[in-house]
Amino acid sequence: MTQNAGGAKTVRSVASRREFLRRGGKVTLGAVLAGAVVPAVHAGEDNTIRLALIGTGGRGGGAVANALSAPGGPVQLYAMADLKQNRMESSYTSLKNQFGEKVDVPESRRFLGFDAYQKAIDCLQPGDVAMLTAFAYCRPTHLEYAVRKGVNVFMEKSFAADPGGLHRMLRAGEEADKKNLKIAAGLMCRHSTARQEMIARIRDGAMGELQLIRASRMWGGGGIGKRNPNVSELMWQIDHRGAFLWVTSGNMIEMLIHQIDECCWLKDSWPVAAHGLGGRVPRSTDCGQNLDIYAMEYTFADGTKALVNSRSISKSFEDFATYVHGTKCAAQFSGNIHAPTVHAYKDQRIDPANIDWRAAKEPDSPWQAEWNVLLDKIRNDQPHNETKQAVYSNFAAIMGRAAAHINNIVTWDDVFNSNFFFCDYVDQLTPDSPAPVHDDEQGQYPVPIPGHWKEF
């Protein structure tokens, strides 16, 4: 029995969950003989995997659409949670119109508030999936609760805004392994078959030794104006999430974490240091915390470099791609808006007329593929926990962000050994909580200044 925010109770038909069962399989003999009590991790006896959507914005709605479109068995959206009712109702209506009976979320299973995630997850049973698609500041809190309740997880990027939050994520991921829970992380490019094909070629030596990786996302950008005095400062910051480092990690990581992850994947390792350059355009009217330029030179243990650049200045050249250079040739690994633009060139010249090999067309988008994999792993009880890989890529992103903010060199050990939090009371947030940062008399929020800034 569950209870919604208004106190109304709803009873869910509770079918006994199969422990140690695959779909249509049998209880393992060892567990029976030993009398072992093992957490159930599969779908219920009706074979339906139910979802609780925590964070109902566009990113969450898109993930639900992928989940409900996956093959292999029935999936149902069963509960929703958000801070804003209009956003949740809009998402519900859109998904209901698109998927009909696959969306079964009456008002009694739509929850509002900072504690709504608990009520939504409490509607699930082992074998179901908590979809953590709210913002980075609350991701560690939500993951810890989902793991504690024994349900599988899909979590979007970015994964935490600061090193302290990432360490919470690592510990929750380790606990998930002990409980045989499945966790998928929203770095969907890892599930791109075109990119996987290129990775296989690189590992087989087709490009020679990798010498350089180049990734960029240069876009028009935009900032925020002065805070609306009629809105609480806390909710103003959450509503303008990209402008505040504590809420979503800031625009650079939100935009570039996929490509930073691609650099780490290409090298099959994590960078040991990052040298950063960052700054704002003159006379900026942006009241948020982001810089306009982030230029980061990552160094890997063997000396290989990855140059990762972000620029959010209008009327400037725009680019969105990842390239890799080996001793034998160059290749493009990723294209505009994460398109699977994957091909190798005859030599180092980046020219459409110089392409020597192209990856095969993908059967599904990476966003769909990551859900196909997760649900298959759940139904067939196979290990699947992407927490560590995702968190380590997020550490690399934070390392680059910190380097650009202080215009200096930051090492992996600097951030990995840190327990820094932008906000150390996120678990206790209520609508009346004080905001972690405050604007000045001109309406400007704190902007990173070398020599006066700390984030690790």
**Predicted confidence (pLDDT) per residue in 62-89, tens digit:** 999 999 999 999 999 999 999 999 999 9
Same domain (yes/no): 275, 376: no
Please check the confidence at residue 361 and state whether its pLDDT lies above 70.
yes
Q: What is the distance between the alpha carbons of residues 273 and 419, in angstroms, rounded to a whole number? A: 18
- Please indicate, yes or no, if residue 265 is contained in any of the structural domains: yes
CB of 12 within 8 A of CB of 123? yes
Q: What is the pLDDT of residues 293-327, one digit of tens each?
A: 999 999 999 999 999 999 999 889 999 999 999 99
Q: What pLDDT is attached to residue 222?
A: 83
* Bond preceding residue 158 cis, omega within 30 of 0: yes
Same domain (yes/no): 23, 94: yes
Mean residue pLDDT across the chain = 91
Please check the confidence at residue 14 and state whether its pLDDT lies above 90.
no
Same domain (yes/no): 146, 12: yes
Region 397-423: what's the mean pLDDT? Answer: 98
Q: What is the distance between the alpha carbons of residues 332 and 355, in angstroms, rounded to a whole number? A: 10
Please check the confidence at residue 18 and state whether its pLDDT lies above 50.
no
Q: What pLDDT is attached to residue 16?
A: 31
CB of 137 within 8 A of CB of 437? no
Same domain (yes/no): 173, 108: yes
Please check the confidence at residue 210 and state whether its pLDDT lies above 60.
yes
Q: What pLDDT is attached to residue 45?
A: 57
Q: What is the distance between the alpha carbons of residues 92 and 246, in angstroms, rounded to a whole number? A: 28
Number of domains in the chain: 2
Q: What pLDDT is attached to residue 111?
A: 98
Q: What pLDDT is attached to residue 46?
A: 79
- Please indicate, yes or no, if residue 446 is contained in any of the structural domains: no
Residue ending a domain, choose from 350, 385, 420? 385
Q: What is the pTM assigned to this prediction?
A: 0.89
CATH of the domain at 204: 3.30.360.10
Helices (H), 105-155: 116-122, 139-149
Which of 69, 68, 35, 38 has its CA nearest to residue 51?
Answer: 68
Q: What pLDDT is attached to residue 284?
A: 93
What is the percent of the chain with per-residue pLDDT over 90, rounded to a whole number? 89
Q: What is the distance between the alpha carbons of residues 82 and 449, in angstroms, rounded to a whole number? A: 34
CATH of the domain at 77: 3.40.50.720
Which of 425, 63, 445 has its CA nearest to residue 241?
Answer: 445
Which residues span the domain enclosing 68? 2-189+371-385
